């Protein structure tokens, strides 16, 4: 199998790397994070100009027709730069729900605005009791004439404080943990009954708690089947896991390079600490973990568009398992090899570790996906170790 990038993909990679290299150095990132919104509107406009916001949408709808490999390329570069903008919630998650669940008329209205940087989306799904189970939904949606009325509370909605539309999961039938009876709704964030409390997460990204109190939406707000929306949620989350895996690889590669440079320049006992064999071994083990993660990120990109839902889900469990393990190992080794400086806000290593930790816990940590694989009988000896 050929894993080489095409000429167009190399151009995309070079363009994103050049943009972020010029305008997203660590000091600039800290300045963006210190703004009231916690990210850069100027960079968001630059993403739109470069076509990153239109990347996965069909050309006929105002997009660029990119696939999972192009998403992987962009996400990896964003991981290297520790970007803060709502690209994942808007383009990958929100865009995924539009691509797979929205009618053509709605896509035609929203995709050009997303591509232009005028429309932000967020996925409001996690609840206080749900942990990582996508089917655990207590928020309710009851029919009201032709429309619906939504009530409930969502937690840790990524960039939910700045989104114009919220993609909300709500139970239309059955019990809280039933896999059937889940609907997906596109809700105006400014609609009566919607309240949001924004906060900064541990990795510097913005998030929000969202409360829905008798929020009315029309029939056009339903994405997919209102009685069986979980397959749609699974598909979009699988695509997001593939993007997160690529982002994690970018972050791991950057923090590994940072660590190796530190080992070369930090002197102790009259020589660089990188000359000590024990530290060389640990840096080499970081590289091994990084390459294991890179292989699984490639698998994630390959499987993201798989139509066999069961096989795609099984493979994504394996991807997220390895990404979580590698992220934890690489991040912890980077902190230990740097020492106390890595724990300061003024140094990048700790920020990479925080982002890698957040990626591990987004849509299920390594343990969660290990258990899911065990339940499906998909464990090999290496994965179970």
pLDDT score of 378 more than 70: no
pLDDT score of 380 more than 80: no
User: Which residues lie closer than 8 Å to 186 by C-beta, 6 or more apart?
Assistant: 97, 102, 106, 165, 166, 167, 168, 217, 221, 222, 223
Confidence at residue 384, expressed as pLDDT on a 0 to 100 scale = 56
pLDDT score of 87 more than 90: yes
**What are 191-246's pLDDT values in tens digits?**
999 999 999 999 999 999 999 999 999 999 999 999 999 999 999 999 999 999 99
Write down the residue that tokens 């009851």 correspond to.
142
Confidence at residue 282, expressed as pLDDT on a 0 to 100 scale = 96
Confidence at residue 104, expressed as pLDDT on a 0 to 100 scale = 95
pLDDT score of 275 more than 90: no
Confidence at residue 377, expressed as pLDDT on a 0 to 100 scale = 75
User: Which residues lie closer than 8 Å to 169 by C-beta, 6 or more apart?
Assistant: 124, 125, 137, 139, 182, 183, 184, 185, 229, 233
Confidence at residue 1, expressed as pLDDT on a 0 to 100 scale = 54
Confidence at residue 97, expressed as pLDDT on a 0 to 100 scale = 98
Closest CA to 91 of 161, 25, 44: 44
Q: Return the DSSP state at 362.
A: T
Q: Tokens standing for 204?
A: 């510097």
* Cβ atoms of 336 and 186 closer than 8 Å: no
Confidence at residue 3, expressed as pLDDT on a 0 to 100 scale = 72
Q: Tokens standing for 3?
A: 């894993």
How far is Cα 12 from Cα 61, in angstroms, rounded to an integer? Answer: 20
* Cβ atoms of 115 and 48 closer than 8 Å: yes
Closest CA to 123 of 308, 362, 376: 362
**What are 8-30's pLDDT values in tens digits?**
999 999 999 999 999 999 999 99
Q: Return the DSSP state at 145.
A: T
- High-pLDDT (> 70) share of the chain, %: 97
Write down the residue that tokens 């909300």 correspond to.
168
Lowest mean pLDDT among 154-163, 234-243, 308-317, 340-349: 340-349
Reduce the DSSP state of residue 266 to 3 states and report it.
Answer: coil
Q: Which domains does the chain have, with CATH numbers?
A: 7-119 (1.10.540.10), 122-227 (2.40.110.10), 231-375 (1.20.140.10)
- pLDDT average, residue stretch 349-360: 98
Consecutive H or E run containing 84 = none
- Judging by DSSP bridges, how do beta strands 121-124 and 165-171 pair with one another? parallel
Q: What is the mean pLDDT of the chain?
A: 96
**What are 140-152's pLDDT values in tens digits?**
999 999 999 999 9
**What are 283-335's pLDDT values in tens digits?**
999 999 999 999 999 999 999 999 999 999 999 999 999 999 999 999 999 99
């Amino acid at each position: 199998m050929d894993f080489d990038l095409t000429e167009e993909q190399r151009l995309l990679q070079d363009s994103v790397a050049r943009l972020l290299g010029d305008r997203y150095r660590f000091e600039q990132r800290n300045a963006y994070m210190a703004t009231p919104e916690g990210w850069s509107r100027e960079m968001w406009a630059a993403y739109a100009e470069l076509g990153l916001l239109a990347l996965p949408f069909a050309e006929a709808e105002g997009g660029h027709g990119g696939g999972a490999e192009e998403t992987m390329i962009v996400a990896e570069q964003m991981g290297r730069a520790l970007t803060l903008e709502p690209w994942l919630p808007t383009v990958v998650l929100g865009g995924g729900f539009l691509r797979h669940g929205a009618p053509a008329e709605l896509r035609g209205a929203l995709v050009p605005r997303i591509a232009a940087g005028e429309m932000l989306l967020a996925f409001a799904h996690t609840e206080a009791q749900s942990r990582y189970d996508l089917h655990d939904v207590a928020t309710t949606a009851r029919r009201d004439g032709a429309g619906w009325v939504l009530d409930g509370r969502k937690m840790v909605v990524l960039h939910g404080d700045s989104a114009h539309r919220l993609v909300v999961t709500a139970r239309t039938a059955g019990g809280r943990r039933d896999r059937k009876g889940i609907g997906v709704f596109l809700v105006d964030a400014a609609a009566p009954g919607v309240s949001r409390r924004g906060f900064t997460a541990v990795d510097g990204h913005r998030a929000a708690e969202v409360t829905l109190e008798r929020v009315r939406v029309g029939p056009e707000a339903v994405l997919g089947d209102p009685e069986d929306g979980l397959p749609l949620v699974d598909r979009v989350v699988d695509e997001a896991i593939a993007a997160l895996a690529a982002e994690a690889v970018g972050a791991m590669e950057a923090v590994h390079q940072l660590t190796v440079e530190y080992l070369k320049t930090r002197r102790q006992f009259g020589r660089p600490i990188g000359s000590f064999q024990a530290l060389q071994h640990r840096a080499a083990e970081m590289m091994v973990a990084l390459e294991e993660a890179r292989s699984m990120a490639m698998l994630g990109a390959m499987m993201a568009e798989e139509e066999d839902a069961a096989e795609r889900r099984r493979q994504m469990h394996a991807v997220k398992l390895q990404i979580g393990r590698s992220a934890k190992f690489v991040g912890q080794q980077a902190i230990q090899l740097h020492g106390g400086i890595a724990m300061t806000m003024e140094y990048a290593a700790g920020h990479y570790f925080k982002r890698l930790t957040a990626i591990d816990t987004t849509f299920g940590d390594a343990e969660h996906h290990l258990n899911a694989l065990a339940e499906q009988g998909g464990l090999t000896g290496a994965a179970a170790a």
